[in-house]
Chain A
């Protein structure tokens, strides 16, 4: 079963770029990498997903190397409101896209 490993916590300052790296050594050929954001007392919110190379949307970029054993979520110019827990997950293609959450990375953005 695909398992992800990411740092428990990270600190940053407003205006900086934040990169959170995740390893997923057992990812299967057709699985996708997804990232979610969770604020206290709320359900997780989808940020971005990708299969390989680079994906960018209005809030983040996702970098995936050719071997797909890791991925990096990049948040440009973070603000205080980006303080949250960020989860890296593998969507299991052969199990209907099932998501297995890990511990997540607690990002703290300071002024």
Chain B
């Protein structure tokens, strides 16, 4: 298993540009989520999904869109990039949010800089 994969690893955008961060998992996990981590801080939840076709907002959803058309993929779209979105983005997945195990597997992260 490749686990959770994220592309790209690094990205530089200009203010106002849009882009999609890709996330995929091959573990047949129902639950997937996106976090951002700013320097010296913990992770903040952006959006999450409990299964294909179902998404919900986390703590900091503004400026981001998600969709979940398949179990495997959970892309994160930045609609109009702003410098405040400069951060490291992590995607995570877990088997299910209703089982007795909440172990989430994290991807390697995407480091995004918006100038």
Interface residues of A (CB under 8 A from B): 32, 34, 36, 41-46, 49, 87, 91, 93, 95-104
Contact = CB atoms under 8 A, between A and B. Distances in A.
Interface stretch (B11-19, B61-69, B71-79, B91-99): B91-99
A101 B106 contact: no
A99 B43 CA distance: 10
Contacts of B48: 96, 98
A101 B102 contact: no
Contacts of B108: 42-43
Contacts of B45: 98-101
B5 to A, nearest CB: 12
A59 B59 CA distance: 31
Of residues A93, A97, A102, A103, which shows the largest number of chain B Cβ atoms within 10 Å of its Cβ? Answer: A97
B42 A104 contact: yes
A32 B109 CA distance: 26
B100 to A, nearest CB: 8
B42 A103 contact: yes
B107 A99 contact: no
B97 A43 contact: no
Nearest to B51: A96
Given A42-B108, A96-B97, A101-B43, A32 B59 contact: no
A36 B105 CA distance: 10
Name the 5 nearest CB pairs between A and B, nearest first.
A43-B106, A96-B97, A97-B97, A91-B102, A101-B42
A44 B103 contact: no
A43 B103 contact: no
A96 B31 contact: yes
Nearest to B111: A41
B36 to A, nearest CB: 11
Contacts of A100: 45, 59
Of residues B4, B56, B59, B103, which shows the largest number of chain A Cβ atoms within 10 Å of its Cβ? Answer: B103
Nearest to B4: A43
Contact of A43 (B42, B58, B109): B109
